[in-house]
Amino acid sequence: MTVPAPVPASAAAPTVTPAPSTRRPGPRLRTPRPGTGGRGRKSPLLTVLTTLVLVYALVPLVWLLINATKTQADLFSSFGLWFGDSFALWDNVQATLAYDDGVFVRWFVNTVLYVVLGAGGATFLAVLGGYALAKFDFPGKRGVFAVVIGAVAVPGTALAVPTFLMFSQMGLTNTPWAVIVPSLISPFGLYLMWTFAAEAIPGELLEAARIDGAGEFRTFFRVSLPLLAPGIVTVLLFTTVATWNNYFLPLIMLRDSSWYPLTLGLNAWNAQAATAGGEAIFNLVITGALLTILPLVVAFLFLQRFWQSGLAAGSVKE
């Protein structure tokens, strides 16, 4: 296992020259830079070309929104990208929430639980680990990174089968822990945090804190953590998306549908139409899908100014 870590030059030898753009999120990023080689003239042609990609990205979401307003009969009889005869959105939402004794609400609560504990814990561990990799020299540092990067390449199923067998021997399968514990590790989050911390925290600042007699943990919480905030938000966003969208892990670990997250529940509803004697509830699948993506879309719109600055860290600088 000797996988050299893809270390950006700035992280391998942290030369502390934090550009203002990575230190101050928000407003600065929203002001367009004066011409990057061009004269800043707006280009209609470029706008049209990018609009093609935009349409591609949004058409399925528009389709989902429109079709969530249709009854099941309308789904089959009306044109996909236009409204049906009836406007049944509220009926659909009510039916989705009420179906099978309100199991959808239960799945929603489960998903939130997995996200809060899984993504929150994953972010916490990634922040601590990334900080250590960026700012400390300790025995086995390169080894830690090689192992983590190497492990990322191992397919999920390679881990899933033995993890399932291990957890079932511990009696953890079919409990929330079987979903939460594996979610706690985000190698990508660790990598992001490492590159971010390497640039966001000047070494001199840590030296100063130590000379003033602050302990390592106090230095971390009082000096480093505030500087890491934009990076933390970015990692939190990625781990939240990962746990919210997780499908494979719960698919293996959970048999009892009362512990399902939303993704697994929707798939079960969809598969129901194909089973003998199962009731086809495509309108509920579509409405449920809309309700599933809504919270994340809202979170994206509100947090978008943060991940800009977080992601920009780790790019190679002058």
Of the pair 105, 128, the CB lying nearest another protein is at: 128
CB of 232 to another protein, least distance (A): 14
Of the pair 59, 105, the CB lying nearest another protein is at 59
Nearest approach in angstroms of CB 154 to another protein is 4
**94-100 CB contacts, 8 Å cutoff, 24+ apart:** 95/283, 95/284, 95/287, 96/284, 96/287, 96/288, 96/291, 99/281, 99/284
Residue pair 4/302 in contact by the 8 Å Cβ criterion: no
Q: Can you spell out the DSSP letters for 106-165? A: HHHHHHHHHIIIIIHHHHHHHHHHHHHHHH---TTHHHHHHHHHHHHTS-HHHHHHHHHH
Name which of 12 and 105 has its Cβ closer to another protein. Answer: 12
CA distances from 300 to 117, 119, 297 (A): 20, 16, 5
Please report how close the Cβ of residue 218 comes to another protein at its closest, in angstroms. 13
- Quick one: 88 or 148, whose CB is closer to another protein? 148
CB 192 within 8 A of CB 231: yes
Query: In whole angstroms, how close is the CB of 14 to another protein at the nearest point?
Result: 14
CB of 174 to another protein, least distance (A): 14
Nearer to another protein, 120 or 150 (CB): 150
Between CA 23 and CA 27 the distance in angstroms is 12
